[in-house]
Homo-oligomer: A and B are copies of this chain.
Amino acid sequence: TSFRIAVIPGDGIGKEVMPEGLRVLEAAAERFSLTLEYQTIDWASCDYYEQTGSMMPADWREQLAGCDALYFGAVGWPAKVPDHVSLWGSLLKFRREFDQYINLRPVRLFEGVPCPLANRKPGDIDFLVVRENTEGEYTSLGGRMFEGTEREVVIQESVFSRIGTDRVLRYAFELAAGRARKHLTVATKSNGIAVSMPYWDERAEEMARHYPGVATDRQHIDILTARFVLQPTRFDVVVASNLFGDILSDLGPACAGTIGLAPSANLDPERRFPSLFEPVHGSAPDIYGKGIANPVAMIWSGALMLDFLGRDPALADGTPWLRAHDLILRAIEIVLADGPRTPDLGGDAKTEDVGRAIARLVRTL
């Protein structure tokens, strides 16, 4: 079986880390005899917007027909295109229109990465954030009234559907049930946000009944952020709404040293649409062009992609794909502990040096 990957570098350092992501994928593909076909996409970028006035061509769906996954760099270049235009016109559009309702974001402290938390060692921080990725607080619903006057008022609506809420909770419970610790933290703020969050709590309680083996812990987002800093070892799987998941999946990686290493998987677990794999970091205009961006998040996102593809029920045997994921992770661990480092980690290596080092290990380990 072969899978088809749309390669979308996007903007800024997305274009610099993508070649390293591909380099490592190639090394893994060779090693494990995986067949990947690539299709490079130059739209979903602010350059494309400058030329055409939109972020994506009208036939973007057709162009991506037949793709199994999108391997995505980063999008956004505020000096050229306002963020809401570039993001809602590409990344957020993919998440919604391809119904990638799970945003899975692993958080891990690695050996060799300076940790901002005192006295934490690898193993102390190792959990998964499961973020709802299609609804909730991220909407354009609402509006303004009495505009420009003293009594101007703005209403913003959040939308939580039963389907949308249940499916992300179910995914998180399943994930927790399959892990050693079987622990799930449910983020909420039902003591302040009085309509949607009590609903979220109710659905979580209902779902918990079907997973008696999973220990569930409901926490308000305010104290939960505090606990990420004070007690990171207590977390195993954390499930959260779109906004809360966004916050926790930046805060978590920061507690583990840097958001520069964090990967993410935007999944349609039912595989009706292609899933999207991207670093959590953005396009970083401030360092673009120097060749010093850290490619680990891009490479790790590629590993998540192989893992997801390998679990496709259409595959006779997905094991090589899962082993490829594990080997890439192992190579990342080794390079972070003891290999070339980009300046964000205190070294003077180039993006390419890190990519080559990881690819070499994937070939030889």
Q: Given A229-B255, A255-B229, do A156 and B195 touch, yes or no (CB 8 Å)? A: yes
- CB nearest neighbor in B for A282: B223
Of A27-35, A245-253, A312-320, the one contacting chain B is A245-253
Q: Is the CB of B138 within 8 A of A157?
A: no
A193 touches B (CB below 8 Å)? yes
Instruction: Kindly name the residue among A158, A161, A225, A242 whose own CB sees the greatest number of chain B CB atoms within 10 A.
Output: A225
A155 touches B (CB below 8 Å)? yes
Q: Given A116-B117, A161-B151, do A195 and B143 touch, yes or no (CB 8 Å)? A: yes
Q: Is the CB of A229 within 8 A of B226?
A: no
CB-CB under 8 A from A84, the residues of chain B are: 190-191, 194, 198
CB-CB under 8 A from A197, the residues of chain B are: 156
Q: Is the CB of B157 within 8 A of A162?
A: no
Q: Is the CB of A137 within 8 A of B247?
A: no
CB-CB under 8 A from A155, the residues of chain B are: 157-159, 195-196
A259 touches B (CB below 8 Å)? yes
A193 to B196, CA, bound (A): 15
* CB proximity of A94 to chain B, nearest CB, Å: 14
Considering the complex of A and B, which 9 residue pairs feature the smallest CB-CB distances, nearest first?
A226-B254, A156-B196, A152-B162, A222-B250, A142-B195, A140-B194, A225-B251, A118-B118, A156-B195
A243 touches B (CB below 8 Å)? yes
* CB proximity of A299 to chain B, nearest CB, Å: 21
Per-residue B-contact encoding for A228-240, CB less than 8 Å = 1, 0 else: 0110000000000
Partner of A246, one of B156, B163, B192, B229: B192
Q: Is the CB of A254 within 8 A of B225?
A: yes
Q: Is the CB of A138 within 8 A of B243?
A: no
- CB nearest neighbor in B for A200: B154
CB-CB under 8 A from A142, the residues of chain B are: 157-158, 195-196
Q: Is the CB of B158 within 8 A of A153?
A: no
Q: Is the CB of B154 within 8 A of A195?
A: yes
CB-CB under 8 A from A143, the residues of chain B are: 195
CB-CB under 8 A from A249, the residues of chain B are: 222
CB<8 Å pairs between A and B, sample of 21? A84-B190, A87-B192, A117-B117, A117-B118, A117-B229, A118-B119, A138-B193, A139-B193, A139-B194, A142-B157, A142-B196, A143-B195, A150-B163, A151-B163, A153-B162, A156-B196, A156-B197, A158-B158, A189-B243, A222-B251, A251-B251
- CB nearest neighbor in B for A140: B194
Q: Given A153-B162, A162-B151, do A254 and B242 touch, yes or no (CB 8 Å)? A: no
- CB nearest neighbor in B for A227: B254
Instruction: Kindly name the residue among A116, A139, A152 whose own CB sees the greatest number of chain B CB atoms within 10 A.
Output: A116
CB-CB under 8 A from A88, the residues of chain B are: 194
Q: 9 more A-B contacts (CB under 8 A) besides A116-B229, A118-B119, A192-B243?
A: A84-B190, A87-B191, A115-B118, A139-B193, A142-B196, A154-B196, A155-B159, A156-B195, A222-B251
Per-residue B-contact encoding for A170-208, CB less than 8 Å = 1, 0 else: 000000000000000000011111111111000000000
